[in-house]
Amino acid sequence: MLCRVCRGSKLTQFLDLGFTPPADDFLRLERLREPEVYYPLEVVICDECSLVQLNHVVPPELLFQREYPYESSTTETGRKHYYSLANDVSRHYNLSPKDLVIDIGSNVGVLLAGFKLRGVRVLGLEPARDVCATANKNGIETINEFFSESLAQEIVRTRGKARVITGTNVVAHINDLHALVRGLDTLLIEKGVFVFEAPYLVHLLEKLEYDTIYHEHLSYLSLAPMKRLFENFGMEIIDAQEVSIHGGTMRYHVARGNDFPVDPAVDEYIRAEREKGIYELEYLRKFACSVERHRKELGWMLQSLKQDGNRIAGVSAPAKGMTLLSYCKIGRETLDFITEKSPLKMGKFTPGTHIPVVGDSELIERMPDYALLLAWNFADEIMKNLDEYRRKGGKFIIPIPEPRIVG
Ligand SMILES: [Zn+2]
* pLDDT tens, position by position, 112-122: 999 999 999 99
- Ligand 1 mean position, distance from CA 229 (Å): 9
C-alpha distance from residue 27 to each of 21, 71, 132, 250 (Å): 11, 17, 21, 33
Q: How far, in Å, from the CA of 273 to the mean position of ligand 1? A: 16
Ligand 1 centroid – CA 53 distance (Å): 9
281 φ, ψ (degrees, to nearest 5): -60, -35
pLDDT band at 246 (very low <50, low <70, confident <90, very high): low
DSSP, res 27 = B
Backbone angles phi, psi at 250, to 5 degrees: -105, 135
Q: Is the pLDDT of residue 69 over 90?
A: no
Q: For residue 221, how far is its CA from the centre of ligand 1 (angstroms)? A: 12
* Res 142: pLDDT: 98
pLDDT at 65: 61
Give the C-alpha separation, 66 to 82, whole Å: 25
CA of 200 to the centre of ligand 1 (A): 17
Supply the pLDDT for residue 72: 65
Mean of per-residue pLDDT scores for the chain: 94
Question: Residues whose CB is under 5 A from ligand 1 (ion)?
Answer: 3, 5-6, 8, 46, 48-49, 51
Q: Give the tens place of pLDDT for each residue, 149-167.
A: 999 999 999 999 999 999 9
Average pLDDT over residues 229-240: 98
CA-to-CA separations, 250 to 88, 144, 375, in angstroms, rounded = 15, 27, 19
Q: Are 183 and 165 in contact (CB under 8 A)?
A: no
Note whether 167 and 138 are within 8 A (CB): no
CA of 52 to the centre of ligand 1 (A): 9
C-alpha of residue 3 to centroid of ligand 1, in Å:
5
Ligand 1 centre and the CA of 46: distance in Å? 5
Q: 198 near 249, Cβ under 8 Å?
A: yes
Amino acid letter, residue 375:
A
What are phi and psi for residue 137, nearest 5 degrees? -65, -35
Tell whether pTM > 0.95. no
CA–centroid distance, 146 to ligand 1, in Å, is 24
| Ligand 1 midpoint to CA 131 (Å) | 33
Distance of alpha carbon 188 from alpha carbon 78, whole angstroms: 27
- Centroid of ligand 1 to alpha carbon of 314 (angstroms): 38
**What was the pLDDT predicted at 22?**
92
Q: Which of 302, 283, 306, 297 is nearest to 401 (CA)?
A: 297
Q: Measure Cα distances from 282 to 12, 276, 285, 290 in Å.
A: 12, 12, 5, 13
pLDDT in tens, 216-225: 999 999 999 9
For ligand 1, the distance from its centroid to the CA atom of residue 219, given in whole angstroms, is: 11
Distance CA 4, CA 179 (A): 10
What's the 180 CA to ligand 1 centre distance in angstroms? 16
15 Cα to the center of ligand 1, angstroms: 17
Using an 8 Å Cβ cutoff, are 226 and 199 in contact? Answer: no
Give the Å distance between the CA of 240 and the centre of ligand 1: 21
Measured between alpha carbons, how far is 53 from 213 in angstroms, rounded to an integer?
Answer: 9
- Of the pLDDT bands very low, low, confident and very high (cuts 50, 70, 90), residue 15 is very high
